[in-house]
Amino acid sequence: MLATLIQIVSRFWLAISLVILTLITAGSLFPADYLPPAPGSDKTHHFIGYCALMLPAAIRRPKYWLLLAVFFVAWSGAIELIQPHVNRYGEWLDLAANTCGVLIAIILSYAIRYFISPKDINLS
């Protein structure tokens, strides 16, 4: 079951990443008078969002996957710089949480590759 899920993520990694990046960007830059209540910490949401963003690329590992990680962190920083101009708050701790999410996704991808044989899910 897990191998099948990883195989799907590996196959459609680019589409998944683009959808998540679009959702993160729209959600982060949409002007709001107030933010709706959500369970958990704001930093936890940032962490999970960027972990989900990076994980498909980290699992698939296209030719420039590490540059994608740097791009996602830079994109996150750009969002934090733009947010004050769209009636939102930019916070450097959000950038730190986003960066941690990207790094944990990379670590998780190594764990996935360690426990699941590449021939079982055709990652190579």
**For residue range 10-58, what is the model confidence (pLDDT) as tens digits?**
899 999 999 999 999 999 998 877 777 778 888 999 999 999 999 999 9
Give the pLDDT confidence score for residue 123 in this predicted structure.
58
pLDDT at 124 over 60: no
H helical segments located in the chain:
2-11, 13-29, 42-60, 65-82, 92-115, 118-121
In whole angstroms, give the CA distance from residue 28 to residue 1: 33
User: How does pLDDT run across 59-92, given as a tens digit for each residue?
Assistant: 998 899 999 999 999 999 999 999 999 988 889 9
Give the pLDDT confidence score for residue 121 in this predicted structure.
62
Give the pLDDT confidence score for residue 75 in this predicted structure.
98
What global pTM score does this model have? Answer: 0.90
Which amino acid makes up residue 105? A
Mean pLDDT of the chain: 90
